[in-house]
Amino acid sequence: MTSDDETLSDVFWAVARRLRQQSKEALAPWDIAPSHFRAIAVLARHGTMRQGELADHLRIAARSTTEVVDGLEERGLVERTPDPKDRRAILVGLTGKGAGLFAAVRAARQAGSEEYFGALSEQDRADLTRILGRLRQT
């Protein structure tokens, strides 16, 4: 329930914090930081790319991306390979282990979301999906 003095923004951010907490809990069994998982998710969705492109997708500095990729590479989740189009450039891509981790975490998150949003009717979920989709496009 919401109190009468809560704004739409207050309620939205409270839900966002709860979803962020659920996401951290879903990552716990794999001992992976949210920032590292974000990089894995970008690579899973967009495929192998240059490290600079990954930095752009993550909206972080190239130096920070190097640290993220180093950590993921140490765990065998990503690999660096020479770019066949430019010998000076390096590509970053998921390994089979990284792809497997992405699939497992995604399934765990989906199960958590189903439980959380299960309190809503099918119509409410459809409406919320439509509304959030519209906001995402602005």
Q: Is-contact 73 90, C-beta < 8 A?
A: no
Class of domain 8-137: mainly alpha
How many other C-beta atoms are found inside a 10 Å radius of the C-beta of residue 55? Answer: 20
Look at residue 11 in the predicted model and tell me its pLDDT: 94
pLDDT tens per residue, range 91-128: 999 999 999 999 999 999 999 889 999 999 999 999 99
Q: What b-and-e string marks burial along 81-112, b requiring 16 or more CB atoms within 10 Å of the CB?
A: eeeeeeeeeebbebbeebeebbeebeebbeee
**Given pLDDT bands bounded at 50, 70 and 90, which one contains residue 2?**
low
pLDDT tens per residue, range 4-33: 789 999 999 999 999 999 888 889 999 999
Q: Is-contact 120 128, C-beta < 8 A?
A: yes
pTM beyond 0.85: no
pLDDT tens per residue, range 44-83: 999 999 999 999 999 999 899 999 999 999 999 999 999 9
Question: Has residue 3 got a pLDDT over 80?
Answer: no
